[in-house]
Amino acid sequence: KCLDFCDYFLTGIVEYQKLITRNHIFLERVEGIGIIGGEEAINWGLSGPMLRASGIKWDLRKVDHYECYDEFDWEIQ
């Protein structure tokens, strides 16, 4: 069933992309919805990509130096 769905879905992928990226009605309904500021993100206890998406450059892998992450030269994006 899963493979059948994949085959079905792939045949419409170009049309789905047009509907999502070019449909002004869809864009008006979704653009700017669900934006969370940094203070709200902290208050809600968000972490990881959701916290960084709110503008807070914090990553537990940098702060706690767990596993081997401290062996790599990387910046929080």
36 contacts 52 by C-beta, under 8 angstroms = no
pTM of model > 0.85 = no
Q: How many helices (H) and strands (E) does the chain have?
A: 6, 0
Tell me if 62 sits within 8 A of 76, measured CB to CB: yes
pLDDT given for residue 3 in this prediction: 94
Name the residue with tokens 């170009």.
14
Q: Is the predicted pLDDT of residue 69 greater than 90, yes or no?
A: no
Query: Across the chain, what does the average pLDDT equal?
Result: 90
**Closest residue by Cα to residue 72 from 62, 64, 58:** 62
Instruction: Report percent pLDDT > 70 for the chain.
Output: 100
- Confidence label for 35 from pLDDT (cuts 50, 70 and 90): very high
Locate 45 and state its tokens: 């206890």
